[in-house]
Amino acid sequence: MVNIFNTFIYEPLYNGLIFLTTAIPGADLGIAVILLTLFVKIILLPITHKSTKTQVKMKMLEPEMKELKEKHKDNKEEHARQMMDLYKKHNVNPFSSCLAALIQIPVILGLYWVFWKGLVIDPDLIDSFKQIPGYINTSLLNNDILYSFVQMPEFIKTKLFGVIDMMDKSVFFALIAGISQYYQIKITMSSKDDEKFSLQSSGSFKDDLVKSMKFQMRYILPVFVFVFAYTISAAIALYWATSNIFTIIHELIVRRKEEDNKEAVVT
C-alpha cells in the first residue's frame, strides 16, 4: 500500500510542485503551493461537485425530511421507505458524499505529505539550505524521485511575494487556515444545526453524541487546524487555507445555483 501511495499519489504531486516551482519566474515556492493545490482541487471537481450538490439538495429537503420523521416516528420501516422515495423523487444519492470522500482522502493526504515531508528540512541543516536569505539550496532535497523531464532548480525562493517564508511558521496563514476551516464547516453543516449547538443535554444519548460531535467539528477542529498549521510550516498553512477557500467558494456557487433552480421550478 505504501508503494502504491508513493508511486501514484505522492511522487506525481511532488514532481508537480517542483515543476511548478521551476516554471514560475523567481521559483516562488508559495505561488507553487497555491497553484498545485488549486490544480488538484480542479482535477477532483467533477467528484466534489456531485457531492456538494447532494449536500445542498439535502439541506433544501430538510423541511420535508423533518415532516416525514414526525409523521412516521412510530414506524421506522415506513419512515425509511418514504425517505428513499423522497431521495429518488429529487434525484439525490445520500451516499455520494461518502464515495467522494473516500476518493479524495488519499489525494489530500498526498498533498499534505508533499508540503510537510517533501520539503522537510532538518533544523540542524537549515543554515546550509539558506545560503542566500529567502532562498533554499535544493541540493539536499529529494532528487531521487524526480521524473526525467522535471529538473530541480538550484535555488527555490521560500518567501511568498518576498514577505512570508514558507519554511518558517506563520501566524497569519495559520489564522486564515483556522478561520476558513470554521466557515467551511459552517456552510457545510445543516442550517438547522445552528439551533442545536447548545450543549444542554436533550435526554437522548444518540442526540447528545451527535450534538457533541458537531460542536467539536465546528469549534474544536478549526482550533486544531490553526495550531497544527502553525506548528508545521507556512507551506502547510497556505495549502490548508487555499483548499478551504476553494471549497467555500465552490459550495456557495452550487448553493446559489440550486436555489435559483428551485425558484424557477416554483414560479
At residue 194, what is the residue type?
Answer: D
Give φ, ψ of 17 to 5 degrees: -65, -45
Query: How many domains is the chain built from?
Result: 1
pLDDT digits (tens, 9 = 90+) for 167-182: 888 999 999 999 999 9
E strands, 103-253, in order: 135-137, 155-157, 159-160, 164-165
Identify the weakest region by mean pLDDT among 11-20, 48-57, 97-106, 179-188.
97-106
What's the maximum distance between 2 C-alpha atoms anywhere in the chain?
72
> Which residues span the domain enclosing 25?
2-266
3-state secondary structure of 236: helix
Spatial CA neighbour of 53 closest among 85, 86, 100, 89: 100
Non-local CB neighbours of 231 within 8 Å, separated by 6+ positions: 169
Buried b vs exposed e over 22-47: b needs ≥16 C-beta within 10 Å? Answer: eebeebbbbbbbbbbbeebbeebeeb
Give the global pTM. Answer: 0.78
CB 133 within 8 A of CB 2: no
β-bridge partners, 28: 157
Non-local CB neighbours of 23 within 8 Å, separated by 6+ positions: none
Identify the weakest region by mean pLDDT among 20-24, 163-167, 191-195, 240-244.
191-195
How far apart, in Å, are the Cα atoms of 64 and each of 22, 58, 73, 162, 213? 54, 10, 14, 53, 24
Q: Is the predicted pLDDT of residue 191 greater than 70, yes or no?
A: no
Q: What is the DSSP letter of 13?
A: H
Q: Is the predicted pLDDT of residue 124 greater than 70, yes or no?
A: no
Highest mean pLDDT among 68-77, 153-162, 241-250: 241-250
At residue 45, what is the residue type?
Answer: L
State the pLDDT confidence band at 80, using cuts at 50, 70 and 90: confident
Residues constituting the chain: 267
The number of angstroms, rounded, from the C-alpha of 129 to the middle of its chain's C-alpha atoms is 30
Q: Is the predicted pLDDT of residue 16 greater than 80, yes or no?
A: yes
DSSP of 49-90: HHHHHHHHHHHHTHHHHHHHHHHTTT-HHHHHHHHHHHHHHT
pLDDT for position 263 = 65
